[in-house]
Every structure is written in C-alpha cells, then in structure tokens.
C-alpha cells in the first residue's frame, strides 16, 4: 500500500492568465478524457465561491486559479466538447461551480462514485476510499477545510488539490473495465442521464419546496402556500446571493404555511421570524401567501397514511435487498424508501404510474418483482 500525503510532491502547474488557460484547454481538447475537480467556499453565499479548478490528463495536473482569470470561454468550450470525457467524483457540486464560471454544463461526464456503485464497490463512496480500494493508495486529507479564496495558496493546499484529481483517470479506466465485465455500462449511462435530467429539474426555483423539511406534516391546503413561499425564498436568495436559511428557515416556512390567515399582526408572532425580516420582507410574504391561498391543492398534496401498510413496505424493502444481493449492487442504488413509498401510493390510488426511478434498467432487475408483490 502506498501512502500519498501532501508532502509527496505531485508535478503540477498553475494557470493564472487567460492566454495560459486558452493554451491548456486547446491541449486538453486533444486528450479524449480529463479528470476535473474544484475547490470552493460556500459559507455566507447562495452561490459557491470558486477557489480552484484542478484538471488532470495522462501526463500532468494543472490548477486553474479562477481569481486571476477573466475569460472562461475556452474552458466552457472544453466542458461542452463531446469528444472529451470529463471524469469527476460525485460531480454535482463541481458541476455547479463550473456552470457558474463558464455557463456550460460538462458533457459527457463519467462519475466515478456512481460507476463504483455499479461495479459492486459500495454506495456513495468517497474519493479517498475509492482510491484506496482500487489503487491501494492512501491519501492525506489534511487540507480539506482550507480557505480556498485566500491568496497565496500554500504548497500544502496545492498538493492536496492535485491529489484530489490525480487518480481520476486511473479510476475511470479501472471502473470502465469492471462495468464491462459485469455488462453494466449501459445501466451506468442510463442512470447518469436520469440523474442529470433530475438535477436540471430539481434546481429550478419551483422545485425548492421539495427540499423543505417536515413539509409532509402540512395539510393539503397548505402545500400551495409552502410551494409559493419556497419559490419566493429561492428566487430572493439567488438574487441577493445569500443562503436561503438566512432569509427564512424551513421551520419559519412551515409556520407561515400553517397559518389560516396571514397579516402584519400574525407575522409578528411567527417564531423564528426576526423583526428585520418582517420589516424587509413582510409585505412580499403576505402577498405571496394571499396569491397561493387562491389556488386549489394539487393532487400530490394529499397525504397518504402508510402506517397501516407497514407490512407491505417491509416486503418491498426485503425484495430490494434480495435483488441487490443477487446482482451484487447496493440496495440504495436500486430503490430507497421514498421511491418505494411513491410506488405503493401509486398502486393504492390507482394512478398506475411507475416512478421514473424504477423504470429503465431497474424494470427487469427489481421493479417487476415489486409490482408482482403489490398485486397480491
């Protein structure tokens, strides 16, 4: 086993000008595949603050300093280049950073974390653990909580960042071989496409209410209000570039949506809603709630009590575990509890809709068995 720490120098270069970035991107466009990762800070802002972009090819690692670059056009072109595979690990946050800088969404992408799940190594493995399992290398994670916006970056930070991208291409090669042996390459591509589509939908402001905790505790008539408030909060947080919780916490949204009538007097009594927030946003909140109250509840707002069906849910979970063992896949990759609940509710309400997450490659692997169990 090799121990790779931040003191073991990784050959790398620092890209600090528009001309250097354009030249580097021209080179990377000929490589067929690059490993890419980002470092960023996100403490007091809605959007991530890019601190560094690491890129690896077969020969070297380069680190792009986004604080010294003004023209990210060449990088955007590279990210969109269909001839270059962008190898990333747990790609979603990195994609957000790259989209913010370039306006381009990386495509095609190879997510080593997802590929590891299809290859039988486990669900949601971290990069360091995957490098250890597949390449027998132990990485030093000492600089994880660095301030990536502070300049100059230390040698320790630069080496840590280089290690974070150094092994992506070897992982890509190994996992591609593993999935080919298991005949799961098509499953992986289909799942990755589904997750990319889901991400595009989930990041819309009108989907923000799906991330609100305890929304299922609300009566159906209050869900329209919660949706409207969540969308308003998301849009406002984006425009002001502040964390959504700094505007209104989830508990405040729930409390506002629970009120049968909302005016200035009621606003003053909402626990957790500060006086500055009432002064600044009070009228906008009231107007938002009034508009939402005039809407009819959506059919999906009706809460279904699943407690009497706990035995059926248990049986569905047993089927998932059995199929996961049979195919040597993580059960979480096949179906989580929320997906199983959605399938059960669809069956109970005669909607007949199979959740999208149970279609495609999962249909034969697990969905048909789930449907058969629900039919009896």
**pLDDT (tens digit per residue) in 234-252:** 999 999 999 999 999 999 9
Q: What is the pLDDT of residues 61-73, one digit of tens each?
A: 999 999 999 999 9
Q: What pLDDT does residue 214 have?
A: 87
Paired strand residues for 139: 4
> pLDDT grade, residue 346 (50/70/90)?
confident
DSSP secondary structure letters along 128-168: HHHHHHHH-EEEP-TTTT--TTSSSPPHHHHHHHHHHHHTH
- Looking at the structure, tell me whether residues 147 and 248 fall in a common domain: no
pLDDT of residue 2 exceeding 60, the answer is no
With cut-offs at 50, 70 and 90, classify the pLDDT of residue 6.
very low
pLDDT at 113 over 70: yes
Domain shared by 230 and 332, yes or no:
no
Full residue range of the structural domain in which residue 296 is found: 205-301
pLDDT greater at residue 272 or residue 11:
272
88, 182: one domain = yes
Cα–Cα–Cα angle for 254, 257, 258, rounded to 5 degrees = 85
Average pLDDT, the chain: 91
Residue of 298, 308, 297, 319 whose CA lies nearest to 348: 308
Residue where a domain stops, chosen among 301, 324, 343:
301
In the predicted model, is pLDDT for residue 219 greater than 90?
Answer: no
More confident residue, 32 or 306: 32
Q: Tell whether 36 and 181 lie within a shared domain.
A: yes
Say if residue 276's pLDDT is above 80: yes
Instruction: Read off the pLDDT band of 8 (50, 70, 90).
Output: low
Q: Which CATH number do you get for residue 50?
A: 3.30.420.10
Look at residue 80 in the predicted model and tell me its pLDDT: 98
CA distance 184 to 233: 41
Task: Read off the pLDDT of each residue in 78-83 and give the average, rounded to a whole number.
Answer: 98
Measured between alpha carbons, how far is 247 from 171 in angstroms, rounded to an integer?
41
Mean pLDDT, residues 204-229 taken together: 89
Number of structural domains the chain divides into: 3
Which of the listed residues 185, 202, 219 is the one where a domain comes to its end?
Answer: 202
Sequence-distant (6+) residues with CB within 8 A of 55 are 24, 28, 34, 35, 36, 61, 62, 63, 64, 165
One domain for residues 37 and 89: yes
Same domain, 23 and 142: yes
Indicate whether 188 and 215 sit together in one domain: no
- The residue from 301, 325, 356 where one domain ends is 301
Q: Which of 365, 3, 370 is nearest to 184 (CA)?
A: 365
The verdict on 82 and 226 lying in the same domain is: no
Q: Are residues 186 and 44 in the same domain?
A: yes
Least confident of 116-130, 191-205, 218-232, 300-314: 300-314
Which of the four pLDDT bands, split at 50, 70 and 90, describes residue 153? very high
Examine the domain organization and report whether 214 and 347 are in the same domain.
Answer: no
CATH number where 255 lies: 1.10.150.80
pLDDT band for 7, please (50, 70, 90 cuts).
Answer: very low
More confident residue, 143 or 157: 157
Domain shared by 241 and 346, yes or no: no
Q: Provide mean pLDDT across the span 342-346.
A: 88
Whole-number pLDDT of residue 294: 81
Let me know whether 20 and 62 are in one domain: yes
CA–CA separation, 168 vs 323, rounded Å? 30
Q: Which tokens is 131 given? A: 């490098």
CA pair distance 249, 281, nearest whole angstrom: 13
Q: Cβ of 174: how many Cβ atoms within 10 Å?
A: 19
As a whole number, mean pLDDT of residues 350-375 equals: 89
pTM attached to this predicted model? 0.90
């Amino acid at each position: 086993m090799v121990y790779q720490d931040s003191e073991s120098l990784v050959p790398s270069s620092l890209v600090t000008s528009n001309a250097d970035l354009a030249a580097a991107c021209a080179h990377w466009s000929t490589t067929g595949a690059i490993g890419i990762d980002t470092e960023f800070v996100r403490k007091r802002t809605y959007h991530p603050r890019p601190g560094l972009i690491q890129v690896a090819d077969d020969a070297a690692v380069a680190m792009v300093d986004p604080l010294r670059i003004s023209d990210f056009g060449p990088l955007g072109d590279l990210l969109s280049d269909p001839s270059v595979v962008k190898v990333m690990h747990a790609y979603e946050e990195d994609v957000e950073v790259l989209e913010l800088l370039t306006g381009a969404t990386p495509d095609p992408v190879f997510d080593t974390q997802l590929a590891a799940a299809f290859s039988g190594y486990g669900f949601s493995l971290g990069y360091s653990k995957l490098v250890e399992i597949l390449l027998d290398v132990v990485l030093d994670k000492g600089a994880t909580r660095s301030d990536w916006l502070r300049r100059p970056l230390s040698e320790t930070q630069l080496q840590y960042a280089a290690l974070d991208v150094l092994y992506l291409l070897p992982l890509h090669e190994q996992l591609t071989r593993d999935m080919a042996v298991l005949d799961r390459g098509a499953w992986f591509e289909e799942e990755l496409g589904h997750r990319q589509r889901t991400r595009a939908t989930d990041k819309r402001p009108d989907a923000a209410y799906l991330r609100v905790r305890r929304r299922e505790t609300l009566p159906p008539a209050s869900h329209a209000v919660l949706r409207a408030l969540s969308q308003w909060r998301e849009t406002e947080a984006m425009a002001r570039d502040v964390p959504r919780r700094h505007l209104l916490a989830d508990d405040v949204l729930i409390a506002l949506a629970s009120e049968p009538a909302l005016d200035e007097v009621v606003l003053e009594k909402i626990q957790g809603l500060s006086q500055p927030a009432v002064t600044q946003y009070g009228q906008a909140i009231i107007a938002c709630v009034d508009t939402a109250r005039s809407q009819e509840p959506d059919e999906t707002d009706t809460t279904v009590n699943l407690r009497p069906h706990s035995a059926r849910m248990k049986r569905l979970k047993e089927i998932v575990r059995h199929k996961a063992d049979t195919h040597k896949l993580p059960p979480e990759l096949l179906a989580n509890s929320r997906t199983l609940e959605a399938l059960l509710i669809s069956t109970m309400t005669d909607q007949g809709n199979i959740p999208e997450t149970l279609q495609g490659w999962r249909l034969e692997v697990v969905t048909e068995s789930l449907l058969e169990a629900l039919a009896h």
